[in-house]
Structure 1
Amino acid sequence: MDFIGFPKRNCATDKPFVYTILPSPTSIRLLEITSKLWCRTKYSFHVVELTEAPTFDVVSHSRRDLVPRNNIILCDDKTLRICGDAKNSINTGRKVASKTSGKMKTRYIWIDSVCINPEDPMDRTAQISMMPKILKKARNVIIGLGKKDAFTSDAVKALKTLSLVPHDEWSNLVSLDWDCQEQYFYRLNIVPLQLRSWLSLIAFFNRPWFSGIWAVQEVTIGNDVIVACGKEIIPWETISKALSFLAHTEWYKELHTNRLIKFPRNALKGRRLKRHQILLNSEIGFKMAVIQLESTRAGSESTQILPLFRYLLRAHRYCEASDKRDIIYALLGLSRKDTLPFTKFPDVLSVDYEMAAQDIYTNVARILLQCYGLGILSDVQDSIASIPNLPTWVPDYSVLRRPLPLSMRGDCTWSACGNLEWKQEFLETEPNSLILQGMLLDTVCEKVKKQNKCLHPMEFLDGVYEIAAHLDPVYPLSMGGKFQSSREVVWRTILADTYRREHPAPQQCEELVVHYQEWVRNGVRNEPQATCSMQRLNLTENQPRKYGKEEFSYLEKEIEAANDARTLFRTRKGYVGIGAQSLRPSDEVWVLAGLGG
């Protein structure tokens, strides 16, 4: 008889872990970690009222890949499936805690992807509602960025270098050219950062955690934030100083691989720097989510006041979330509750994971419209919403807002609708409808086919000439009884009639724009089509040079700000305007009551 083997025993480890319902809305699960010499680390859940919780740390990680849950830990002698990031972060949190607070046999941590039942929306609702209180109660917030890579050591050194720059020296750098940084660092007796260091910073801040929406709440509310990357432990204070420096000097705008051209590429020779070479040849830069993350944290710390909900929604549209509802709920927990919209609607906005994302975003939009008026419509993105079935008037706060409202360039002093007021009316029977009042102005008949700020200036001007070529010499609409030339209308339109935060733009801008066009034309060779259209606008080809590169560069920035993600269009009656790039011929142009800017 052949021996096959012993029969398989039913042991505790074969049983999957099953979450139990918490005894009260203010209870939490803490992951209890018990470590003994020469013994396997044991995990178990410790259920307790938050107010009576033992000392614990919050452990944070990237929520980008919460599924599949292919990793297993033994919790209460049962198999608990968790995602890989969570397992690595638990180990990181345990090691960081032992370094910062001494060795203990038993530790407690709270990690949302493990301590919240992922299959129970009611449990998730209750726990996420308490998250601000959990963060305040925790001793530390330990952030696990993941394993060390080829960029980590250089990135940490660069962070420490930037954090050493004295705050009173920052103002000296605001107007300093990026190319002058080396002599600036030498003057402060600081070794200048080289290409590999800047590349490492780009790689470091492109780790997924920094773009996550929950990072905003964790660093703003958390008591003592510690960042771990591999074996490197970095206090948030170091990262904060480095980010504040980059934001104040606006050097973060230069931290893109296609702008690091001043550095010699031979500095990256060698097999050890192969990853740096690959990164340099890619299209990657510094994310605005990182700058906004530190801006919100620093602002809250300096004022000791939480930010406004409306501000947070606009500021953190660069953030990412695996669940679109998290964008709203993470910022909801971070908002001041003694201002609008909470004072007007105290019980309407609350965490509820049984609601669909479409309903949550629509509800938020309705409430904000009732509190702030139709200006909220400027938050609507010019793209297909990422949330299915979202009404077209509802902002999708989980995607970038483009184009940015023109009012962000300065005080919005114009009012298209005059004194007409919007009569608010919301029908409960039609929650996806928005009732507006207004006047039909005209219909779009032509738009620039290609127009955005990434184009070469001559390509941009070619698009302007396309529209200008079909305009009458005198504009059909009078201003204060006076008629404008088509030339004046065009230059005012491409500037959104604002220059150096002044509206209307000063008349001398006309001459500046003319010289700018001549300057751009002199930089290119093939201009037969442009010359014909320029004559239509009465632009001469050889006007004397009165302005220099500095004035033209500033004008370019103003034109880019006004036209980013917008397009110039002409209507059937001969009006000119700039609008969203998605507009099409036959679209209607309306003046809405209550929408001033």
Structure 2
Amino acid sequence: MLELGQIRLLRILPGKGSEIECKLSTVPLDSSPPYEALSYTWGSQDVTHEIIISEKICPVTANLYTALKNLRLENGQERTIWIDAICINQKSDAERSAQVKIMAKIYARAQRVIMWVGEATEFDGMAFALLQRIKGVFQQHGRVDFDFQQIGPDGKPSPLYGLPNTASAEWIALSRLFQRPYFERIWIIQEVVKATKAVLTCGTLNIEWEVVRDFARSLRKGGSLGNIEYSQSAPGVVSVNVMADLKTGNGEDLLSLLSLTRGYQATKAVDKVFALMGLASDHHDVGINIDYSKSAWEIYENLTIYSLMAHNSLFCLSNAGFYSSAERSWIPDWSNMLEHRSCLAFYGNKVFSASRDSEASLKVSEDLQILTVGGYIVDTISVVAPNIRKFRQAEATMKSGPLTWWMTPEEEIARFIVEATEMHGAKEASKRAFIYQEGSSRDKELSRTLCCNILATGERIDIDAAYKVYQWFNKLIYAPHLDSNQGPDVTGKEEKDFSPPGVQGEKFMHSVVFFGTGRSVCATEKGDMGRVPFGTKVGDLVCIFKGGKVPYILRQNGDGSYVLVGECYINGIMYGQALEREDLVYQEFKIK
């Protein structure tokens, strides 16, 4: 058992061939010799390889074995490195708990963090060569927010800065690199954010973190490649931007970090929380001790009650809901990704104000089984559009293809909007009769509803620009090709004066996918459109809780209690309008 403040370091002995020999030593962290730290995925533990550590045979996963072979030096020098699977006794809950508490410091003190994404394939050489060319562009022009291609008068893209066409094999290889499982692992966030120096490594290929960071930032801000980086089919670009933002920011609280990283993977459910503790601005206050002897639900319960009672905040409810793994619908199961559903209360924190500036009224029962929340029933769900096509299925199809969608001209954007609209049921729901504000229309409200009226940056969407984009897509959404095998005419040639939407089209498409994933289009009895969590049923109640940024869907139980289905977007009530109704009756909801 390690003593307080101690760590183990692995010395990889030089050599060649399949046999790997190492030495393990114990040192004080504060006065340790220089070392590197490995950031990687464990991979499957079903297949292992044997290595020699301090004259003992030890099994390691295939991915770690490959990493050790590639990291081993052949020039007679040892390489000193910290690797969690080897340097922590994984059979001791006490040691794991103690080491995880200082893991942020371990990575911060490392001379360099190696971001090991796996063994190189024939495509990765092209990907790293392209990153080197992009590095040259950054060196010549500075870190700029530009597009890597331009759209000509004919609507076709052409490359910029001497880079290859974005439909080329090099760009396809780069997109595949950013789909590596490494980028979906929750632990990498802390490991890279805390690093003083980091390098992305694939086999024997290396490139500096700063190049990868600047590339991802350019994707985010640079036009027609811009807003695709948040797609769940490109987790690498998402992760790099998340890590870059956290490196330069003032720190997020734990619940915000959990919401931001909901789609990341962890082998153990408790690690969805523990992996972020070293980054959280409030980690000393949340009342959670890193302890692997506790169950995930104990940790989730403690965090929820802290948020509700210490901060009088409803934010945790926006990450909770009724799903099969939930013991209580009001406690978020952070191990459940909710179909990658993006949290409206998080991204719309500065935009939405459904309860205006009211204070939450909350009470948790003594047995911790029931949450009582004060608020109002403002509407009832009357229509829930069928999910014509599951987003995850379409996502898998895109992953298996050549991935030209990732860096596409406007015709591909249009095709994707058609798919997204069909997937989320908008085509079906839009046939129903809705009531609109004076001067509005079905299509304008639908375009607003599809994207939940916000961007992933938290800004309110430019509805006039979005509506113009939607008008361009409208001929496709209701076109005969949806019921045939014919491809849509997306070139804009049929309407010579109606040009493709360009950047605004991407922003609209991105928001549709980002906030539409895991949500269905709905209609309410009062005639509003909305986006509600998968699983919402006709008859479910639309409620506004005091202190809530967004509305919530409740389902009544037979005993007078309620189940929380989840947060929602409902047109016409996101900015406190519902509170002006004279027929509102305040009540307390007992949620199980």
Report the equivalent of 2:123: 151
SS at match of 1:425: strand
Q: Does the CA-based 8 Å contact 1:379-1:401 persist in structure 2?
A: no
Q: How does 1:54-65 map to 2 (within 5 A)?
A: 54-65=33-44
Q: How does 1:66-465 map to 2 (within 5 A)?
A: 67-68=45-46, 70-95=48-73, 103-104=76-77, 106-166=78-138, 167-168=141-142, 170-173=144-147, 176-177=150-151, 182-186=158-162, 190=163, 195-249=168-222, 287-302=233-248, 305-336=250-281, 341-342=282-283, 345=285, 348-370=287-309, 371=311, 373-380=313-320, 384=323, 388-398=325-335, 399=337, 401-405=340-344, 408=347, 411-415=350-354, 417=355, 420-430=358-368, 432-450=369-387, 455=419, 462-465=427-430
Report the equivalent of 1:588: 541
Q: Does the CA-based 8 Å contact 1:444-1:586 persist in structure 2?
A: yes
Q: Does the CA-based 8 Å contact 2:466-2:505 persist in structure 1?
A: no
SS at match of 1:173: coil
* 1:465-490 per-position Cα deviation (integer Å, ceiling 9, x unaligned): 4431xx6xx78xxxxxxxx5697588
* 1:475-519 per-position Cα deviation (integer Å, ceiling 9, x unaligned): 8xxxxxxxx56975885466248489998998x899979966974
The residue type equivalent to 1:25 in the other structure is: L
Q: Does the CA-based 8 Å contact 1:467-1:569 persist in structure 2?
A: no
Relative distance call for 1:323 and 1:251 in structure 2 (3 A) is farther
* 1:408-438 per-position Cα deviation (integer Å, ceiling 9, x unaligned): 36842543x45653223233522x4322122
Instruction: Give unmatched runs, 5+ long, in structure 1.
Output: 1-20, 257-284, 476-483, 528-543
Relative distance call for 1:121 and 1:241 in structure 2 (3 A) is same
Report the equivalent of 2:492: none
The residue type equivalent to 2:359 in the other structure is: E
More strand by share: 2
SS at match of 1:320: coil
Q: Does the CA-based 8 Å contact 1:568-1:578 persist in structure 2?
A: yes
Q: TM-score, normalization: structure 1? A: 0.70
> What is the Cα deviation at residue 595 of structure 1?
1.3
Q: How does 1:32-47 map to 2 (within 5 A)?
A: 32-35=11-14, 42-47=21-26
Q: Does the CA-based 8 Å contact 1:92-1:228 persist in structure 2?
A: no
Relative distance call for 1:223 and 1:525 in structure 2 (3 A) is closer
Identify the range of structure 1 (545-554 vs 168-177) with the bigger mean alpha-carbon deviation: 545-554
Q: Distance in 2 between matches of 1:151 and 1:513?
A: 36
> What is the Cα deviation at residue 202 of structure 1?
1.9
The residue type equivalent to 2:372 in the other structure is: I
Q: Does the CA-based 8 Å contact 1:170-1:248 persist in structure 2?
A: no
> What is the Cα deviation at residue 224 of structure 1?
2.4
> What is the Cα deviation at residue 402 of structure 1?
1.3
The residue type equivalent to 2:64 in the other structure is: A
Report the equivalent of 2:560: none
The residue type equivalent to 2:69 in the other structure is: N
The residue type equivalent to 2:170 in the other structure is: S
> What is the Cα deviation at residue 36 of structure 1?
7.9
* 1:230-252 per-position Cα deviation (integer Å, ceiling 9, x unaligned): 22233323333333333332665
Report the equivalent of 2:501: 550
Q: Does the CA-based 8 Å contact 1:213-1:320 persist in structure 2?
A: yes
Report the equivalent of 1:537: none
> What is the Cα deviation at residue 454 of structure 1?
5.7
Q: Does the CA-based 8 Å contact 1:117-1:124 persist in structure 2?
A: yes
The residue type equivalent to 1:71 in the other structure is: H
Q: Does the CA-based 8 Å contact 1:565-1:581 persist in structure 2?
A: yes
The residue type equivalent to 1:317 in the other structure is: R
Report the equivalent of 2:480: 524
The structure number with the bigger radius of gyration is 1
SS at match of 1:393: coil
SS at match of 1:449: coil
Identity between Structure 1 and Structure 2 (%): 20
Q: Distance in 2 between matches of 1:230 and 1:126?
A: 32
Q: Distance in 1 between matches of 2:466 and 2:121?
A: 53
SS at match of 2:52: strand
Q: Distance in 1 between matches of 2:506 and 2:218?
A: 24
Relative distance call for 1:490 and 1:369 in structure 2 (3 A) is farther
Relative distance call for 1:436 and 1:523 in structure 2 (3 A) is same
Q: TM-score, normalization: structure 2? A: 0.70
The residue type equivalent to 1:524 in the other structure is: P
Q: Does the CA-based 8 Å contact 2:444-2:467 persist in structure 1?
A: no
* 1:29-58 per-position Cα deviation (integer Å, ceiling 9, x unaligned): 222344489997643321222123222221
SS at match of 1:439: strand
Q: Distance in 2 between matches of 1:70 and 1:514?
A: 52
> What is the Cα deviation at residue 160 of structure 1?
0.7
Determine which structure has greater relative contact order: mean sequence separation of CA pairs < 8 Å that are 6+ residues apart, divided by chain length.
2
The residue type equivalent to 1:594 in the other structure is: G
User: What is the number of equivalent residue pairs in this alignment?
Assistant: 497
Q: Does the CA-based 8 Å contact 2:192-2:198 persist in structure 1?
A: yes
Q: Distance in 1 between matches of 2:235 and 2:467?
A: 39
Relative distance call for 1:411 and 1:307 in structure 2 (3 A) is closer
Q: Does the CA-based 8 Å contact 1:56-1:109 persist in structure 2?
A: yes
Relative distance call for 1:427 and 1:180 in structure 2 (3 A) is same
> What is the Cα deviation at residue 583 of structure 1?
0.6
